[in-house]
Amino acid sequence: MRHLRSLLVTGQRSTCPQVTTLLRFFPYLRVLSLQEVGLKEVPTSIGKLIHLWHLNLSGNPFSELPKSIKGLVHLQSLDLWLCYGLKQLPGEIGELANLLSLNLLECRNLDKLPGEMSNLINLTDLQLDRCVRLRQMPIGLGNLT
């Protein structure tokens, strides 16, 4: 199982602690989806999944992403929709040079985006619908193509 490429867990709140503990055994994951599993804290070890292309943490109650997110150097897609507890993104998200898509749909407590997001030069899809507390966009975000 060490060479597992995709791990999808949806709506299994009771298995969440075990899944996050086991992530270290799957260093070659390309796709990780922990959707609606009751994740209250994103483990810092997630940054060690350097081969990850797609990460879906949607529908979980965590309030922040760890700074170790910058370790996901191959990440192309990050889904965080319906993460009501999420208040802000770490500046380290700007180091995800390969990120193409960022979905923050209905992150209702998100109040600002880090200025480092203007470094996401490959970002082509940014979804911010119903982020009702978001009042300010980073100045350089308008320069992205």
Residue 144 has a pLDDT of 56
Residue 93 CA to residue 114 CA, distance in Å, equals 8
Q: How far is CA 128 from CA 4, 13, 74, 104, 108, in A?
A: 32, 26, 23, 5, 10
- Return the percentage of the chain with pLDDT > 70, whole number: 88
Residue 54 has a pLDDT of 99
Does the pLDDT value for residue 90 go beyond 60? yes
Residue 142 has a pLDDT of 55
Is residue 126 within 8 A of residue 99, CB to CB? The reply is no
φ, ψ of residue 78 to 5 degrees: the values are -130, 115
Q: How confident is the model at residue 53 (pLDDT cuts 50, 70, 90)?
A: very high
Does the pLDDT value for residue 61 go beyond 90? yes
Does the pLDDT value for residue 13 go beyond 80? no
Q: Where do the domains of the chain lie, and which CATH numbers do they carry?
A: 6-143 (3.80.10.10)
* pTM greater than the 0.95 cutoff: no
Q: Which residues contact 21 (CB under 8 A, 6 or more apart)?
A: none
- Return the percentage of the chain with pLDDT > 90, whole number: 67
Q: What is the DSSP letter of 22?
A: H
Residue 3 has a pLDDT of 84
Q: With residue 18 as reference, give the H or E element that holds it.
A: helix 16-22
Q: Which residue has the higher pLDDT, 5 or 132?
A: 5
Does the pLDDT value for residue 138 go beyond 90? no
Residue 7 CA to residue 29 CA, distance in Å, equals 7
What is the mean predicted confidence (pLDDT) over 26-48? 93
Residue 47 CA to residue 125 CA, distance in Å, equals 22
Place of tokens 């309030």: 63
